[in-house]
Amino acid sequence: MRTALAEGIRVQAYCSMAFGCPFEGETDPNVVLEIAEAYAEGGAHVIGLADTLGHATPEQTRALVEQALKKTEPYQAEISLHMHDTKGRAQANCYEGLQLGVRQFDAAVGGCGGCNFAPGAEGNLSTQGLLAVLNHAEMEHGVDELGLQSAHEFLENKLGRTLRSCSADGWSSQQ
């Protein structure tokens, strides 16, 4: 991190397994906050809170983001969210972060991906699902949704399988 900062490179650091670990179980939020604060103190511009397993609830997300914002505020570091959609709560979790001021989210076309070192971790939040949250919140995003749909169809064709296409259907900020 020091080398990147010395070269003027913007640094984003992640707190993986911030909401639970497949090997150790529940993650202590205080440990996550200590790591986030250390990253911020070390100069990271963005600290990502990752729900690697996709088990976080909106209440857990809100609580951890609120505390992380307080811990990193003195260092002017931003908080981002990386949510997996194993339990179908990634959109609701991102909505909670959005309400608290988070403006950076990781997503993947069709929810592609997962985590090869975390057993049971399913795909990432789909870009379409994230856009549904942003559209619901009336946030400008600049994404070409027709182009995104074309990319989605291209990937499905190349991979030979149906990908997630989460939309606002079946999701609401009340979940």
Catalytic residue selected from 15, 21, 94, 115: 115
- Whether residue 95 contacts residue 83, with contact meaning beta carbons closer than 8 Å, is answered with no
166 is catalytic: no
Burial class (CB in 10 A: 0-12, 13-18, 19+), 162: exposed
Amino acid sitting at position 164: R
- Identify the DSSP state of 126: B
- Whether residue 33 contacts residue 79, with contact meaning beta carbons closer than 8 Å, is answered with no
What's the chain's Rg over C-alpha atoms?
A: 16
Distance, CA of 48 to CA of 36 (rounded, Å): 8
Catalytic residues: 115
